[in-house]
């Protein structure tokens, strides 16, 4: 193989590796994970998937891998959260990772992740994400 062919092959390899690395970085930084249970509807917000609540509660009861998306709409921006239940843990008290991304008129913001805990209650599943004392309650029945 000539020196020119080796140099050309090396350049193509480096460019391909850089493109693949850039793609993976963008995916990890700016793309939320998929939500296998679909979109859970917040009161007064976008309509959700009818089975999203049942799917996430069933996953939390057995600590099966699943995710649910929640959209919080503000006046000038919105936030998309994906809560991913991990497949290990104590049934009824599962580990969850919350991925959050702010969306406004410009490009989407960076995806942030936080460790959370899911607890199954009679009304649904409560997802708590310390250190900020925030709890999301996904109800399987009518809101109270």
Same domain, yes or no: 82 and 51:
yes
119 domain residue, yes or no: yes
Number of domains in the chain: 2
Same domain, yes or no: 54 and 83:
yes
144 domain residue, yes or no: no
Same domain, yes or no: 66 and 9:
no
Same domain, yes or no: 45 and 105:
yes
Domain carrying residue 129: 39-139
Q: Which residue, 23, 33, 18, 55, is CA-closest to 140?
A: 55
Same domain, yes or no: 26 and 44:
no
The string of pLDDT tens digits covering residues 50-94 is 688 888 888 988 999 999 998 887 778 888 899 999 998 788 788
What is the pLDDT, as a whole number, of residue 140? 66
The string of pLDDT tens digits covering residues 101-116 is 888 877 778 889 999 9
Decide: helix, strand or coil at residue 20: helix
Say which residue the tokens 């939320």 belong to: 32
Gap between the Cα atoms of 99 and 5, Å rounded: 45
51 domain residue, yes or no: yes
Which residues are 69's β-sheet partners?
39, 82
């Amino acid at each position: 193989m000539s020196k020119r062919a080796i140099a050309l092959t090396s350049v193509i390899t480096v460019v391909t590796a850089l493109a693949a690395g850039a793609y993976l970085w963008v995916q990890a930084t700016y793309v939320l994970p998929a939500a296998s249970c679909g979109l859970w509807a917040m009161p007064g917000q976008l309509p959700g998937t009818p089975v999203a609540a049942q799917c996430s509660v069933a996953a939390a009861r057995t600590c099966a891998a699943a995710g649910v998306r929640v959209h919080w709409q503000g006046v000038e921006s919105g936030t998309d959260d994906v809560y991913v239940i991990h497949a290990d843990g104590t049934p009824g008290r599962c580990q969850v990772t919350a991925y959050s991304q702010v969306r406004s008129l410009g490009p989407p913001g960076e995806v942030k992740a936080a460790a959370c805990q899911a607890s199954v209650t009679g009304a649904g599943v409560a997802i708590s994400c310390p250190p900020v004392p925030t709890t999301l309650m996904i109800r399987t029945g009518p809101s109270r």
